[in-house]
């Protein structure tokens, strides 16, 4: 007799939240990284937005801390099939950072300390959908979770929420990032199970 029947879809979430297809609920916060964890001091940290024309906008840690802070509570969905509900963050909305950036670009390529990249449509970073998060559960964001600051785009699989974020390059045409070049989906919607190219 098989241990798991073909009809098994996981336990119903204890929290009562609705799971995207193929996901299971966790109360931990698993740490998954493509390489070693960068350790970036606040004094060395900077974030840049570079437009398609080469115009460069820069913020250091003090600049980021001086911007209005939001406190989103969001669900996280990892492509490795875990979901964590009701996570509490603090950070700066991308709407604030991009407010004075003039661009005709449709795409963004996000860059991280350590060399990681990921691509997104620019519209997925706007209208209250994305933050540069620097605190988690009331504490400074730990390095293993992307501290001192990470991108947070909770409506997409978590690999799009680049840890150790250092900049965004605005592009006229889409350019795949690290995992997308290795066969992961370009967009990554957990509700449509867009894990890999062709999904």
- Percent residues over pLDDT 70 in the chain: 91
Give me the pLDDT at residue 12, please. 52
Q: Which residue has the higher pLDDT, 2 or 43?
A: 43
71: left (phi over 0), alpha (psi -120 to 50) or beta: beta
> Does 179 score more than 80 pLDDT?
yes
Q: Are 40 and 113 spatial neighbours (Cβ–Cβ below 8 Å)? A: yes
Say if residue 84's pLDDT is above 90: yes
Q: Does domain 44-192 have CATH number 3.30.750.24?
A: no
Q: Please state the domain extents for the chain.
A: 44-192
pLDDT band at 32 (very low <50, low <70, confident <90, very high): confident
Q: Is the pLDDT of residue 28 over 90?
A: no
Contact predicate 113/41, CB 8 Å:
no
The DSSP secondary structure of 116-178, one letter per residue, reads -EEEEEGGGGSTTS-EEEEEETTEEPPGGGTTT-EEE-TTS-GGGS-TTEEEEEEESS----H
pLDDT digits (tens, 9 = 90+) for 107-143: 999 999 999 999 999 999 999 999 999 999 999 999 9
Cβ-contact 158, 191 below 8 angstroms: no
Instruction: Please report the pLDDT score of residue 30 as a whole number.
Output: 84
Query: Are the beta carbons of 172 and 105 closer than 8 angstroms?
Result: yes
pLDDT (mean) for 69-87 = 96
pLDDT tier at 15 (50, 70, 90 boundaries)? low
């Amino acid at each position: 007799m098989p241990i798991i029947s073909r009809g098994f879809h996981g336990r119903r979430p204890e929290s009562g939240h609705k799971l995207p297809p193929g996901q299971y609920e966790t109360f931990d916060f698993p740490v998954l990284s493509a390489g070693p964890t960068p350790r970036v001091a606040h004094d060395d940290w900077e974030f840049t937005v570079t437009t398609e024309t080469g115009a460069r906008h820069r913020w250091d840690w003090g600049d980021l801390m001086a911007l209005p802070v939001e406190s989103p509570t969001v669900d996280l969905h990892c492509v490795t099939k875990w979901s964590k509900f009701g996570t509490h963050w603090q950070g700066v909305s991308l709407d604030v950072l991009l407010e004075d950036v003039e661009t005709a670009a449709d795409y963004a390529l996000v860059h991280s300390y350590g060399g990681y990249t990921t691509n997104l449509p620019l519209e997925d970073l706007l209208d209250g959908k994305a933050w540069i998060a620097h605190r988690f559960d009331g504490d400074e964001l730990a390095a293993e979770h992307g501290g001192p600051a990470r991108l947070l785009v909770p409506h997409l699989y978590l690999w799009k929420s680049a840890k150790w974020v250092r900049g965004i390059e605005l592009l006229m045409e889409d350019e795949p990032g690290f995992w997308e070049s290795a066969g992961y989906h370009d967009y990554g919607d957990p509700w449509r199970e867009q894990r890999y190219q062709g999904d």
